[in-house]
Amino acid sequence: MFEIPKLKHTDSGNFFLMAGPCAIEGEEIAMQIAERLKTLTDSLQIPLIFKGSYRKANRSRLDSFTGIGDEKALRILQKVSREFDVPTVTDIHETTEAAMAAEYVDVLQIPAFLCRQTDLLVAAANTGKVVNIKKGQFLSGAAMRFAVEKIHESGNAKVILTDRGNSFGYSDLVVDFRNLPEMKALGAPVVMDVTHSLQQPNQSSGVTGGKPALIETIAKAAIAVGADGLFIETHPQPSIAKSDGANMLPLDQLEDLLRKLIRIRQAVL
């Protein structure tokens, strides 16, 4: 894989992990989660990219939590990177956000619903940062070829592709694991977004549901079919998280899961 600044343990043979809270809720909780993730992944020799959305743009309701302020949240991500010596990733939603966010993080993420937005992809590519593109819930893995080409043709070869399931009816998602080898054939590292693939969107309450009991199942299957990395949102108390609490993994359950996944990784290499 291409070099990502501050990414450690890349020679361990393990998958890499994108993990953190759904949204940056405040400095104290972000630092608490980052410290635990850093300690855990160092002990297991898992490359870590800390994730957190500085702003949540895709919300069901107008009164849903969207963030604590762009610059404030981005500065927290920057502090996490400096204090724990780890790369960070956050998602962008408009072209004007690319250069702004690139000043603070190492990886720019394109949300699944926006993966076909040419101007957004080009703006992210032009920053020179690694670009993580989430596969749209409406696309096959093979169709992500065109998103990759947009980044490459903009002069940036640093692309990661992430699957987060496909729409299944109006209020559910299903994971088609054929998408992982299809995207891997495009020459990019491939990640399985475990927690978002277990969302139950479009609920009548206006609050997205989820099936966190299946996190282990999806993660194990992804590693077994060759995922290079996993994307897992985690929080000490998902029930009080300000975003996506219904499908996050409790932070104290992460170590046991990672140990199981390492054994699977070793078995399939």
The pLDDT tens digits for 92-102 are 999 999 999 99
The confidence score (pLDDT) of residue 205 equals 61
**How large is the average pLDDT for residues 16-36?**
97
Any domain includes 8: no
The count of C-alpha atoms lying within 13 angstroms of the C-alpha of 188, restricted to the half-sphere facing its C-beta, is: 32
How far is 178 from 110, CA to CA, in rounded Å? 21
Q: What is the per-residue pLDDT for 7?
A: 98
CA pair distance 9, 25, nearest whole angstrom? 28
Alpha helices in the chain (DSSP H): 27-44, 70-84, 95-102, 118-126, 145-152, 179-184, 215-224, 254-268
pLDDT in tens, 60-69: 677 677 789 9
Has residue 45 got a pLDDT over 90? yes
Higher pLDDT, 184 or 56: 184
Q: Is residue 9 part of a domain?
A: no
Neighbour tally for 161: CB within 10 Å? 27
- pTM here is 0.95
Residue 232 lies in a domain: yes
Structural domain including 224 reads: 16-268
What is the mean predicted confidence (pLDDT) over 50-74? 85
The pLDDT of residue 28 is 97
Residue 244: pLDDT band with limits 50, 70, 90: confident
Question: For position 46, what pLDDT does the model report?
Answer: 98
Predicted pLDDT at 207: 57
Q: Which two tokens stand for residue 97?
A: 């956000």
Number of domains making up the chain: 1
Nearest to 215 by CA among 243, 192, 237: 192
Tell me the per-residue pLDDT of 181-237, one tens digit each, with 9 for 90 and over: 999 999 999 999 999 999 887 655 655 667 889 999 999 999 999 999 999 999 999
> Within 13 Å of residue 108, how many CA atoms lie on the same side as its CB?
31
So what's the pLDDT on residue 202? Answer: 61
Query: Per the structure block, which two tokens stand in for 32?
Result: 């608490």
What is the 3-state secondary structure of 80-138? Answer: HHHHHCCCEEEECCCHHHHHHHHCCCCEEEECHHHCCCHHHHHHHHHCCCEEEEECCCC
* CATH number (domain holding residue 42): 3.20.20.70
Angle at 91 between CA 90 and CA 97, to 5 degrees: 105
* pLDDT of res. 60: 63
- Whether the per-residue pLDDT at 145 is higher than 80: the answer is yes
- How much is the pLDDT for 243? 82
Distance between first and last Cα of the chain: 16
Would 4 be classed as within a structural domain?
no
Q: Classify residue 10: in a domain, yes or no.
A: no
The chain-wide mean pLDDT, for the chain, equals 94
Residue 91 has pLDDT above 60, yes or no: yes
- pLDDT, mean of residues 47-70: 84
Q: If you count DSSP H runs as helices and E runs as strands, how many of each does the chain have, helices first?
A: 8, 13
Task: Note whether residue 6 is domain-resident.
Answer: no
CA distances from 268 to 9, 128, 163, 218, 262 (A): 19, 33, 20, 16, 10
Mean pLDDT to the nearest integer, 15-42: 97
Q: Kindly tell me if the per-residue pLDDT of 126 is higher than 60.
A: yes
The pLDDT of residue 56: 81
2 domain-assigned: no
1 inside domain: no
